[in-house]
C-alpha cells in the first residue's frame, strides 16, 4: 500500500521511557510510548497533524467532551515480524469505523490522508516499542474529543484527533466468565451501540462491577427490548459453538461491527466451518449448556484477540464449559495471529505494512 505524502510536524521527545519498561510484565493499557499524534479541528478544518512527546493536555474545564461525552475511539494493533517489519491489521476498517462513529456523534470526519500519515509516522518513531513474538503487539488508540469551551448542549466547533500507543500482551490475565444480562442494557434501537462512543463503555461499568462481585469478568448484553437474545460483551463480540456449528449475532445499530469478528467470519467460510450469523437466544444457549451441546463461547476483539469463555451465569445459575483440545477459539486464534504476524499467506489482503 502507498505511504502517505501528507506532511506531519514532528517534535521528538528528548528522552525515552523504553529502558524503564518491563515488556514481560505489561498490564493492558498502563504504559504509553514516548510520542502521540495530535490534530486540531478549528475554523471548519482539520489542521496539520503533529507528533509530539506524550504528555498531558491542557483543556478548558467547560470543554464539551467533559459535559456531553462527545468522544469516539478506535482500537488497533501493530505487529513486528521476524525480519523487523511492522504490520497493521485491516487499518482501513478502523479508519472507516471511527468516521462512522464520529458521524453519529456529530463530529466532523477525519481525512484519510491525515489518519495514515500521522499513524505511520508515529509507528516509525515508536518501532522499538513493538516487540517480536506471538502475543506481543503495540496497541494503538486513536480517538476524537470535543475541545471547544462552553457548556451549551450543541456539537462543538473544535476537536482534537489523537493517537496514543501502548505496548500490549494479553488483555485478560486470567479465565473469563460472563454473566448474561437480565436487567441492564448496553444499547437500544436507534441509539449509538454500533459506534465506538466513549459513553457506551462508561454505561457498562456499573453493571459489570455488580457482575464482578458475583465472580464474572464480563457481561454478555442481551437485546434491550426483551433480554431474550445475546448480543455482545463489553470488550468483545461473542461467538457460540453448539455441536460443531458456530453462531454469532448479526451486526445492527446496537452491535459493534468488530474487525476481529468479521475476520473470524471470513476464516470460517474459508475453512468450511458451519457458521450462522443470526440472533442467538438465551434459551437456546442455556438449553444447549444443559444438554452438553454447548461446546464453546468465545469473545473476539482487537484488544482481547480471541478469548475463550470458561463459563457463564444466567438466572442465578452458573454453567461451566468443557475444556476442548481442538477448540474453534484456538483454531481461529492460530489462523488470525499467523496472518497478523506475517507468518501465513494473506489471502484476504488484511495486512498493511508500515515502511
| Contact residues: ligand COI, CB under 6 A | 75, 201, 235, 301-303
Residue nearer to ligand COI on the CB measure, 101 or 342: 101
> Which residue has the CB atom at the shortest distance from ligand COI?
75
Closest CB 157 distance from ligand COI, rounded Å = 27
Residue nearer to ligand COI on the CB measure, 163 or 288: 163
Closest CB 211 distance from ligand COI, rounded Å = 15
Residue nearer to ligand COI on the CB measure, 178 or 294: 178
Closest CB 67 distance from ligand COI, rounded Å = 23
Give the 3-state DSSP-derived string for the chain, with helices as H, strands as E and coil as C: CCCCCCCCEECCCCCCCHHHCCCCCCCCCCCCCCEEEEEEEECCEECCCEEEECCCCCCCCCCHHHHHCCEEECCEEEEECCCCCEEEECHHHHHHHHHHHHHHCCCCCCCHHHHHHHHHHHHHHCHHHCCECCCCEEEEEEEEEECCCCCCCCCCCCEEEEEEEEEECCCCCCCEEEEECCCCCCCCCCCCCCCCEHHHHHHHHHHHHHHHHCCCCEEEEECCCCCCEEEEECCCEEEEEECCEEEECCCECCECCCHHHHHHHHHHHHCCCCEEECCEEHHHHHHHHHHCCEEEEEEEECCCEEEEEEEEEECCEEEECCCCCCCHHHHHHHHHHHHHCCCCCCCCCCEEEEC
Closest CB 52 distance from ligand COI, rounded Å = 24
Residue nearer to ligand COI on the CB measure, 8 or 216: 216
Closest CB 204 distance from ligand COI, rounded Å = 9
Residue nearer to ligand COI on the CB measure, 260 or 342: 260
Closest CB 235 distance from ligand COI, rounded Å = 4
Instruction: Kindly report the number of other CB atoms within 10 A of residue 155's CB atom.
Output: 14
Closest CB 303 distance from ligand COI, rounded Å = 3
Distance CA 46, CA 99 (A): 14
Residue nearer to ligand COI on the CB measure, 148 or 232: 232
| CA-CA-CA-CA torsion sign (108, 109, 111, 114) | positive
Residue nearer to ligand COI on the CB measure, 173 or 272: 173
Residue nearer to ligand COI on the CB measure, 8 or 94: 94
Closest CB 190 distance from ligand COI, rounded Å = 23
Amino acid at each position: 500500500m502507498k505511504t502517505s505524502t501528507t506532511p506531519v510536524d514532528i517534535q521528538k521527545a528528548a528522552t525515552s521511557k523504553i529502558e524503564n519498561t518491563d515488556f514481560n510484565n505489561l498490564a493492558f493499557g498502563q504504559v504509553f510510548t514516548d510520542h502521540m499524534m495530535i490534530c486540531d479541528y478549528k475554523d471548519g478544518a482539520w489542521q496539520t497533524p503533529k507528533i509530539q512527546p506524550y504528555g498531558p493536555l491542557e483543556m478548558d474545564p467547560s470543554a464539551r467532551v467533559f459535559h456531553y461525552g462527545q468522544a469516539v475511539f478506535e482500537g488497533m494493533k501493530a505487529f513486528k515480524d521476524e525480519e523487523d517489519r511492522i504490520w497493521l491489521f485491516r487499518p482501513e476498517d478502523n479508519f472507516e469505523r471511527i468516521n462512522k462513529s464520529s458521524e453519529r456523534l456529530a463530529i466532523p470526519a477525519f481525512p484519510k490522508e491525515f489518519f495514515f500519515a500521522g499513524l505511520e509516522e508515529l509507528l516509525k518513531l515508536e518501532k522499538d516499542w513493538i516487540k517480536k513474538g506471538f502475543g506481543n503487539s503495540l496497541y494503538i488508540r486513536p480517538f476524537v474529543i470535543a475541545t471547544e469551551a462552553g457548556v451549551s448542549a450543541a456539537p462543538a466547533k473544535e476537536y482534537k484527533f489523537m493517537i496514543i500507543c501502548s505496548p500490549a500482551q494479553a488483555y485478560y490475565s486470567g479465565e473469563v466468565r460472563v454473566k448474561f444480562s437480565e436487567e441492564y442494557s448496553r444499547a437500544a434501537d436507534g441509539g449509538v451501540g454500533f459506534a465506538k462512543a466513549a459513553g457506551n463503555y462508561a454505561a457498562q461499568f456499573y453493571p459489570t462491577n455488580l457482575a464482578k462481585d458475583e465472580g464474572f469478568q464480563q457481561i454478555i448484553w442481551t437485546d434491550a427490548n426483551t433480554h431474550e437474545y445475546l448480543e455482545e460483551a463489553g470488550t468483545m463480540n461473542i461467538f457460540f459453538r453448539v455441536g460443531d456449528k458456530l453462531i454469532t449475532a448479526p451486526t445492527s445499530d446496537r452491535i459493534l461491527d468488530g474487525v476481529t469478528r468479521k475476520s473470524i467470519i471470513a476464516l470460517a467460510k474459508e475453512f468450511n466451518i458451519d457458521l450462522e450469523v443470526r440472533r442467538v437466544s438465551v434459551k437456546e444457549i442455556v438449553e444447549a449448556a444443559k444438554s452438553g451441546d454447548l461446546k464453546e463461547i468465545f469473545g473476539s476483539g482487537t484488544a482481547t484477540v480471541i478469548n475463550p469463555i470458561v463459563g457463564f451465569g444466567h438466572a442465578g445459575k452458573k454453567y461451566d464449559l468443557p475444556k476442548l483440545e481442538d477448540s474453534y477459539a484456538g483454531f481461529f486464534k492460530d489462523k488470525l495471529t499467523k496472518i497478523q504476524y506475517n507468518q501465513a499467506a494473506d489471502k484476504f489482503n488484511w495486512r498493511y505494512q508500515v515502511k
